[in-house]
Structures are given as structure tokens and as C-alpha cells.
Structure 1
């Protein structure tokens, strides 16, 4: 008998051992995700996952993220990860296999990236995972919301990682895990409408009502509401909380609740790009807390469907004091439009479950908490089935939209400053008649560029952005990649447009944070009495060509090896100085400080001779439409005043301005407008005075 049992065990084990196994390197990564695994099968032929077993028990699946989603990271390439998901939809871990994110590769290092992905272990698809994009983001840990700590200076990268992890895990869960299968998809009928009263909509199931009594709350928390310092006891006969839910994509619901005109405006604004739920409540405990921030995720209510947490985010589209158009609607204490879906999507015709989280503080340290689940199913006649399963990404708000919303005030300030700079340059001929105004404006803007655009908003453009553009054009252009960083996108757009108007100097002289830092240190060097070295003309004309082969080498290398190109891009000291505030491995810091130190003796040394970004902009700047910097007959013949005053030596001996090198500081235009500095003006004034004296003498003689 014992022999037969042993034989059966050996047969079972041998059957697994004969199953095709993944390569050793892949197997080692999966083993880290499932430490108790005894059998790791090779990738399934019909679905790209690796089944993982402990003897005969299925532990879950491991898979490579790029087999399911290929969201491009900040460098324009997907971030490849191995992800483990157990049979209950919990993450066993996430391992980054390959990426090109420069801030991790050649900046912060791999440590912060590893710490971020380690947060997924033990978390579940039934939870709503929210990445803290910044330390200033509001956080509330109630409900199914789980907040992950983001990575400072790598917001875009970690948001892309989160989106990739959740989107891919959802596809695996729906295909392979019990309880996560998607019901037949539905959508709201657009031809179904008739005018109805509030009560008729409730009776027909077009609006769902959930009532929570004070007695139910007291029974759950185990104490009377009168024991809490907050006034939570409702008026006799009134509910503790009465919550209503309505699916606004349905004209039958939306038109009746908002009215024809308001609903038309709502649909135009939505533009079929999402699903929206109206949530209303009244009572002493409404569905949003007093400190709720419009446009954010609610902390008191949540939505689930088929075990999956459904994302809810306030649209902030309702007018203050807005009321319900349907006749007989009661007055509400709170009313919000929520965009719903997220990675999990949302099937409006299937059953879902709202939950209301009640938090009752006894004092500033201790609170009693309870959750009340409210099943929701809307009347089936509101919906029609969809033939094909919709794309899980369809109707979702792109990642970049959330980033732009969060940084709205930075965007507003940047756009305002760029508009002001544009007006200044457009009226330069008039404004340069006032030298003090020009100098004060320029230095004020340089401080703004360094401290706001550079250090705070992280808006330092780089030659790496050029790689991203070329590779995107080569592999298939997607605007979403460039929209991920709003500050960089706005600066690049503005720089590109102005290249064809004023040339490269507008960026290099006004909007480059490292350039501003160099200019400030150059000024400091002069004030400290450091000897200013003026590179001889013949050497200067040769050295300014160095940056062009550097640019060609970097761009050419990017098509061969993006990793190598990113390493070579360390010729730029921007990341060390502006992005990482000089907190980095010491050779990089020494290199950046050395360039700045040289710049205290040779004005803007790096910009003039080494900057590949400046070289690229100079090439495009040759297609400018105008040559704005006015020259007169005596410029260079014989006057050399502007050339001698030009710190960057962008004026030739014959008086011509070299727009490939000019940083548009406008100092030469100020000189040209100054009657006491411009030789041409001085000579003309003397001639006029001489002519006036001759005329005066002739008049006396007559």
C-alpha cells in the first residue's frame, strides 16, 4: 500500500517535471515572487502567463507587464516588469526587469524605484491604489483606498508603473481568476427618454436610494450617537444618511435630473470620454466630508463591482447651489458628479456595490469606524448590451490629465510668465530705450527661471528630450508621452515656436535654468574681481563648433543603444545641478561644479562650447523668419562697442550678429538705443550739433 502511494506521488511529480519550464533567469525572478513555489511552468501558448504551483496547488500567475500593456515611460520606452498575482487577486510582488527612466538610471539610482514597486506586495485588486504624486497631495486612508508613497522627481515614472501594473493585473484576473470575470458589457441607451418626476424615477429604478438609520449606526459602533462630541443625532423621523445614486450617461436619467440645456452642456463637456455617476445625499452624515477637496477622490464612499475597486473622482462640474430639475426632488445637503471606472472599468448595467464609511471621532486621537454596504442595480431598460467587449482603456482619463490637473497653478504661472516674456520681446524696440527697465526685467526673469522653472517645477529641458522625440517619430509617434510632464511640454512647445521667430536665444538666454545659474555666477565672478578670460577670436570660432559633433554622437547613439545614449548625456550637468540639487555621486558633482567654476572666468563656458541642446536649437533656429536685432551702418565699421560688451561673443568684427550663438540678452540693442553709448548715435549727434553751429554762425553773419 505504501509503495503504491509513493508511486503515485512520483508519477504526479514527474508529470510536472516534464512540463516545459521557463529559462533559468526568468525562473529565478518568478521564484522571488512566489518563494513557496515548487513548480513554475513555461508561458502558456494561448495567454502570456507563467502558472506557479506548490506541488498540485495553484499559487497564482507571473507575467511580464509588456505582454499586456505598453505604456511609454518618460524616456519614450515601456517599463518592463515581472508581476506576481495569486489566485485571490493579491500581488505577490513586482520586479522591474528593464527600463530607460533617466532619473533612476543616472540620477536617484535604482533604490527609490525598488522601494516604490515593493509597496505592491500583499495589496489586492479589490483595493483602489492611489499614488501620491507629491507630498502636498491630500491623503485619507479610509475605505478601500490604499495610498502609495511616490518618488520625488520621478512622478511621471511611478504613475506609469502604477497604471501598467493595475491594467495588466486586471486583464490577467479577468481571464484566469475566479470571481473576476467580466459580465456582459452594457451601455446606456441614447434613444430612451421621457419627462419624469423625481418619484417616478425612484419607482422605476432609474435612481437608486439607500437609507442609513441612526439605530443601525449605533448598533454597529456599539454606542449612542450622543456619546460623540459632534452633533450627529438626526431630527426624529429623519435618516442618519440618505444617499441617492444616478447613472448620468443615460439621457433618461441625466436629462430629467439636470434639465435639457444643462444635460446638453454636460454631454458636450464629457464628449463620450467616460462614465459619470451623480451622488446626492442628505442627513447629518452626507457622502462627502467637510474637508472634501473638489476634484479629488471621496473618502466616505466607494464603489466595487465584481470584487474590483472602481475609481471615483469628482469632476467639479456642478455650479454652486445647483438644484435638481426633476419635479418633486427633495433638497440635498451634498451633490457631486463622479467620473467612474479607472483601470477596472465599469459596467453600468451590472450589479455594483457602494459602501459608506462612517467615522465618528471620540476625540482628536480615537475614532469609531463602520462600513455599510449598499448594493446598487439600476433598471435594465436603461441599458443595451454591447456586442464586443470594450477596450478597458476606452473612456478612461489618461494619466497625463491627472498630472496637468494637479499642477494647474504651476502651469498657470508658467503660461503667464511666457506670455509676459513674449510681449517684452515683441516690444523690444520700444522697451530697450529704458536700460534700467530691461536690466531689472532680465535679472528678475533669470531668478524666476532658476528657482521656479528649474529647482521647483523641474522644467530643465535636456538633449534627452530630443532622443525621446526622434525615437517616438521612429517607433510611432504618440503625443501622450510628451504630455506626461506639463512643464516640459509647455516649455518645449514655446521654445519650438519661438525658434522660428527669434531663434535659439530666447530659450538659451531666458528659459534655461542652468544657463541662468551660469549667468549669475559669472556676475558674481566679476563682482569678486576674478580675472575674466576672453577667448581669442580664432579659438572661439573653432571651439563653438565642438557642441555639434557632441549632438550628432548623442542622437546617433540613441538609435543604437538608448541606455548608452543616456549615459553619454551626462555631458549635460543639468540633472546633477538642477534636478538633484547636487546631491549625487561625487564625480558628477565635481564635473558640474567645475563647469560652473570655469564659467566664473569664461562667461557661460558650457553654453558656448559644450551644450548639445544649444547646438540642436541653433540648427533649428537657422530657419527663423526674422533677424530682430537691429544693426546700423557703423556697427563693426568702425564701432566695436557692442562686440566688446557681448559676454558670449556672438557679434562678429563686421558687426553682424551670430544668431547661432546669440542668447538674446538685448544688451546690444540697449547700446544701440543709448545716445551716450552708441558710436553711430554719438557721431550723428555731433554732426547735427556742428551743422547747427554752422547755421547759427551763418545767421549771425547775415
Structure 2
């Protein structure tokens, strides 16, 4: 028995060792990250990193990102990276090991992804990396202080922002554990009950609010020229500071309650009860902490925050105004006042030392610009804070990625919500509005153009079957709403579509909000204008072919649980990515397929939507639970009248007059016909009866 136990222990030890051993492929990749390495050790048993040496000198560490963070990508799975970090906290490179981002796998190709990760080489954790939303000439350039801009990837904004967050949050965990100079001081938080009413001067005198100023002469010495050499610089009056700053940690009740009043402080803390940290900055003088063209809600260029030699993210909350004002009596009139959310992926320890950096940039002319930076010590009175026994992990304290994306796209969200509200009102009043056929047709085509060019081409709001199996996979792996919040336009469209499925059925989305559906509609219109013979699929074949999209849907969803990569490849049955996301700029077979479907649609109305679309199948299934049947029918519909059926391009009306809501795209053409005195047979018969009755009455009266 003892021998068997020893054998089992030996096997377990062997398996553990085998798991920790470095494979040849992984070793080769690490060698690329550290070209001068002579020794690459196996992964440490107590911390998942690979130490890398040149002879006896430690060069740094390589590690796999998923060992530290599993932030989900756009497809619901994390992006797996191999990252190199040297002993000074500089990235030696980032390699993509595995990912499921559809836009790179089957759209743009992976080269833009690799070009993005190449930008990390030789950048430091001490720099604040800001990813642009599209390609920009600012890549790699400092914007003052430690701020560095990276080129984004057009049409893949969400994916690269997730990747950036993965790189920074994982690297920070490694640096704090393994690198000198990155260790955190004991974590602190504001004392919740430490408060007494104080005046503005008492807050400053006791160190609860920081104060700093610089005069014009000091600036001239630092920059090496008199201020008179700079046309845009304003020399302050004699004895006045060039720049004067005040700053305070709003989360501390001693500061927040005194400055904002009890009601304002509670309002702010309730709004950001998830742990957001807020720093107030006020300034006056010739040079303020924000420029005149500062965009509210963004990160400031003139001022930055560092702690432990790391750049800490600052973002304006855009809250000070009519609803939230400074309430403290005797407070000076400032030229600029802002509340900044601080922390980001690096976190912020309010009771530890930090620095504000004021970046002064003065232009001699349009070609020559001079810079200087002043470090402003940030050290508040220790009485404000208490020590926390266990530090929160960076992933617990940072602002979710999706929050920044929603702020950045606020105007797109606003336009979309207005458009959806207008569409909802139109559909709610369709019975009365359908009495005006010209109005209905003009509104429909106007909204279709809005869907194609704004929702589709500009905002990239094309829903896809990929979203459906992403939901199933998220439920299977552990549901997280954050994955779906990453794209605000897609999220809003899905919520709206889901709700309206139970009111109007599938047709509201398929007929009005699907950008590729609009392309099919336009192709059909063009086919008619070019007098192409319109093919009507025989009824018995039509009823069979409309079922084809359901096994396609089941096959895609089932495949996703077997292989997400294979499912993403099979999802190319949807031409949405080729036509809407990439504007037909893609490898030629994909373009031929998408264009071919549109050409077929010039002869067979909305061929793809009717017979092949798996997304339409999924929506039709849920649409069967709709609460209402909005499209009225009358006794003569289908018996004998077939006018609506003959005019229905998508053939969603059966011979007996019933509307097939699983196929209907809610174009409202049949509703217009039903209320048209000249088109509806029932209306014409009723009118003739009334005319005959009136004639009889007139004859009798004569």
C-alpha cells in the first residue's frame, strides 16, 4: 500500500514538473522577446512567470497574460498574449498566442493586430499609454509628461482597447511582485466618519487640500526664455502667480462634504459607489491646469498624475455645473475647476505620496515650441486616511473598459436613441399614418438611408449571428454583461430588437434596422428600375426554402461549443462583415459572395434574408412570442382578394390572406393597401355599395 502511495506521489510530481517545463515553441518566442538571453528558466512554481537571464544577469520576465487576467474579448473569449517585461519595467515585446476576435480572423486579417502589438516594444509601464480610435500620426509620441499615444486599428477599436487593458493590468501585477521600484505602499482609504465643518483656509492650513503656485520668473528660468518671447503667453501682474493650483481628495468626507455640501457629496458618492476615486483640481492665473480648448469628459493634456513613478489615469467627470456646485463659503473664484476620476488600471493610493505634473508648453511661432514640466508634490494630511489590510487588485478598482467607450461615443449613442424613438412612435401610430401612402414610403426610405449610412457604415451597428452564440457561450462559461457593453451601438440595438420582438416580431429589425437588409432592398429597387424580370419562387418551393435558415442557425450555434474558431469561419455565410464592416475591401472570394447575393436580390426580392440568414432565423423564433398581431386583415383578404399577397415582395402573406410573421419584414405595404380606397378590393366594394345606396336614395327622393 505504501509503495502505491509513493508511486502516486511520484506521478503527481512528474505531472507538475512536466506542466511547468518550457516547450520548445514557447522558448523560441521568449527568445524573440529577449534576443540577448542565454538562459530561459521554467515557469516559477509560486508565480507564473519565466525568468530570463544573460549569463548571470537577470534581463526580465516573460509571462502569459491569461495567468493574470481573463478580460473577455469581443467574441467572449480572452486574448492570450506572451509578454516580455525587463527589469526597468519596459516592454521587450508582445506576442499574440491565441485570440478569437472576428474582425482580425476573418476581416482585416491579423497583420493590423500584430502591427498594434509591435508598438509596445521599448515602451515603459511608467508611461500612460492612450490608444487612438483610428490610425493617427501621434503614435509613439509623448503628449507631454509620460503620456504616449498608440495608433488604434480602424473598425477594431473594441478589440485593441481590450488588448491594451490586458497588457497593462497584467504587466502591473508582474512589476509589483517582481521588479524593484514598483512595490506598493500600504494601501489606504478615506476615513468614512472623519469630518468637521471647516473654512477654505482651515482646509489648506491643516493639509486637507494641497496648494502650489509658480511665478513668472521661475517659469522663465525653467524654460530658458522671457515670457515676452511667446505671443500666446500672458504675463501676470506684478506679485501675481503665473499659475496657482489647489487640489483635494473628494472621497474623504472632510474634503468632499466641506466643498460640495452634504447633499452634493452624497450625490457624487452614490453615483460612483463602485469605488471610483475623485480628485478635485482648481486653478487660476495666466496658465491654468486645462487649455481653453479642453474637451469635457476627456483626459487633460496640461496636467498629469504619477504615483510610484507610474502615470495614473485622470479623466474629467464633467460634473461641476448647475446640478453639482462648490458650496463652501469664502472659497476663491477659480478660472478653472474640475473633478477628475483617477486610478484606471494602475489604481491610486490616496494616503501615499504622489505627484501632479504641470506641463507648460509655449509657442514662439507656429514652428517652434518650448516645453517645461513642474512636479507638484501631492501629500495630504494622514488624518484623512486609514490603512487597508488587503489591497484591492487592479482589476477590482479600475474603470471598466466599456465605460470609456460609452463616453467616447456619446453623440453616436444619442443619435441612435433619437432614431429608435422616432421609429417606435411611427410604428405605434402605423394605423393612422398608413392612410397617407406617400408619407409612409418617404419615411421608410429616409429611415433605410439612416440605417445604412449611419447605423451600418458609420457606427458599425450590424447585428450578427456571432452575437447570438456569444451570448450562449457567455452563459455557458459564466455570464458577464461587460462583454456586451463593449460596443454601445450593438448593445443598444440588441436591447431594442429583443424588446420589440415581443411587440412587433422579427420584422422591425429585419425590415428597418439591418444595414445589409437595406442593401438588399436597394438592389431589388434597382433591379425593378432596370426592368430585370422579377422571379417569384413557386409557393411550394418557397415554403421549403424558408426553412433552410434554421438548420444553418443550429449548425453555427452547435459548432461554437465545439470550436469557436470553426464557428467564426462558418459565420461567413453572413455577408455582413464584407459589405458593411469592410465596405467590400476584402479578399475577392468574400466580395464575390456578398456581391453575388445582392445581384440575385435584383431578381429574387431579398433572397438572402428569406432563405439563408441565420440571424433572421434566430429572431423569428423569439418573434413567435410577440404579444400583438398589428397587421389587420379583413374578410375578403385571401378569399378572393390576392392583391396584398401579389404585392408582398418577400412573400410573407399566405393564399388565405394570413400574414406569416416569421417571414414578414414589416414594410407596411399591405397596411397601406388595406387603407387605400383605390387598391383594397374590400374598400372598393364598400364604396360601390355606398354609391349604389346613395343613388337609390336619390332616385326615391326624385
Give TM class, smaller chain. over 0.9
Moved more, 636-645 or 211-220: 211-220
Task: Please name the residue that 2:95 is paired with.
Answer: 95
Match runs of 1:199-238 below 5 Å? 199-238=201-240
Task: Please name the residue that 1:42 is paired with.
Answer: 42
1:41 Cα deviation after fit: 0.7
1:138 Cα deviation after fit: 10
Moved more, 503-512 or 199-208: 199-208
Task: Please name the residue that 2:537 is paired with.
Answer: 535
Distance 2:242 2:693 in 1: 96
Task: Please name the residue that 1:290 is paired with.
Answer: 292
| Cα pair distance change 1:298/1:163, threshold 3 Å | same
Distance 1:697 1:272 in 2: 83
Task: Please name the residue that 2:416 is paired with.
Answer: 414
Contact 1:316 / 1:337 at 8 angstroms: preserved in 2?
A: yes
Task: Please name the residue that 2:514 is paired with.
Answer: 512
Per-residue CA distance 1:319-360 (angstroms, 9 max, x = gap): 179875444433322111110001110000001111111111
Task: Please name the residue that 1:590 is paired with.
Answer: 592
Task: Please name the residue that 2:353 is paired with.
Answer: 351
Per-residue CA distance 1:595-641 (angstroms, 9 max, x = gap): 00000011101111111111111111111111111011110100000
Distance 2:245 2:511 in 1: 58
Distance 2:135 2:66 in 1: 29
| Cα pair distance change 1:243/1:43, threshold 3 Å | same
Distance 2:534 2:232 in 1: 70
Task: Please name the residue that 1:489 is paired with.
Answer: 491
| Cα pair distance change 1:323/1:419, threshold 3 Å | closer
Match runs of 1:251-262 below 5 Å? 251-262=253-264
Per-residue CA distance 1:569-593 (angstroms, 9 max, x = gap): 1011000000000000000000101
1:693 Cα deviation after fit: 2.9
Contact 1:499 / 1:621 at 8 angstroms: preserved in 2?
A: yes
From 651, 657, 660, the equivalent of 2:659 is: 657
Residue 247 (str. 1) matches residue 249 (str. 2): yes
From 575, 578, 582, the equivalent of 2:577 is: 575
Task: Please name the residue that 1:388 is paired with.
Answer: 390
Between Structure 1 and Structure 2, how many residues are aligned? 683
Per-residue CA distance 1:259-311 (angstroms, 9 max, x = gap): 23322322222224310111111211111112211111111111111121100
Distance 2:260 2:201 in 1: 15
Task: Please name the residue that 1:13 is paired with.
Answer: none
| Cα pair distance change 1:269/1:534, threshold 3 Å | same
Moved more, 133-142 or 436-445: 133-142
1:394 Cα deviation after fit: 2.9
Contact 1:19 / 1:41 at 8 angstroms: preserved in 2?
A: no
| Cα pair distance change 1:125/1:502, threshold 3 Å | same
| Cα pair distance change 1:634/1:328, threshold 3 Å | closer
Contact 1:551 / 1:616 at 8 angstroms: preserved in 2?
A: yes
Task: Please name the residue that 2:121 is paired with.
Answer: 121
Distance 1:561 1:231 in 2: 62
After TM superposition, the score normalised by the length of structure 1 is 0.95
Classify the secondary structure of the residue corresponding to 1:230. coil
Match runs of 1:160-559 below 5 Å? 160-319=162-321, 324-559=326-561
Residue 72 (str. 1) matches residue 72 (str. 2): yes
Contact 1:503 / 1:659 at 8 angstroms: preserved in 2?
A: yes
From 663, 675, 678, the equivalent of 1:676 is: 678
Distance 2:231 2:693 in 1: 93
Residue 110 (str. 1) matches residue 76 (str. 2): no
Moved more, 321-330 or 103-112: 321-330
Task: Please name the residue that 1:11 is paired with.
Answer: none
1:256 Cα deviation after fit: 1.5
Q: Which runs of 5+ in 1 are unaligned?
A: 1-17
Contact 1:273 / 1:397 at 8 angstroms: preserved in 2?
A: no
Distance 1:381 1:547 in 2: 67
1:400 Cα deviation after fit: 0.6
Distance 2:625 2:256 in 1: 52
Q: Which runs of 5+ in 2 are unaligned?
A: 1-17
1:213 Cα deviation after fit: 2.1
Moved more, 118-127 or 228-237: 228-237
| Cα pair distance change 1:322/1:27, threshold 3 Å | same
Moved more, 641-650 or 263-272: 263-272
1:92 Cα deviation after fit: 0.5
Task: Please name the residue that 2:3 is paired with.
Answer: none
The Cα RMSD (Å) is: 1.8
| Cα pair distance change 1:26/1:540, threshold 3 Å | same
Distance 1:78 1:488 in 2: 20
Classify the secondary structure of the residue corresponding to 1:397. coil
Contact 1:286 / 1:333 at 8 angstroms: preserved in 2?
A: yes
Contact 2:135 / 2:153 at 8 angstroms: preserved in 1?
A: no
1:475 Cα deviation after fit: 0.8
From 626, 644, 653, the equivalent of 1:624 is: 626
| Cα pair distance change 1:539/1:252, threshold 3 Å | same
Per-residue CA distance 1:621-669 (angstroms, 9 max, x = gap): 1111111110111101000000000001111111111111111101011
After TM superposition, the score normalised by the length of structure 2 is 0.95
1:239 Cα deviation after fit: 1.4
Distance 2:554 2:97 in 1: 30
Moved more, 643-652 or 387-396: 387-396
Classify the secondary structure of the residue corresponding to 2:240. coil
Contact 1:59 / 1:86 at 8 angstroms: preserved in 2?
A: yes
Contact 1:275 / 1:395 at 8 angstroms: preserved in 2?
A: no
Task: Please name the residue that 2:10 is paired with.
Answer: none
Contact 2:520 / 2:598 at 8 angstroms: preserved in 1?
A: yes
Distance 1:627 1:136 in 2: 51
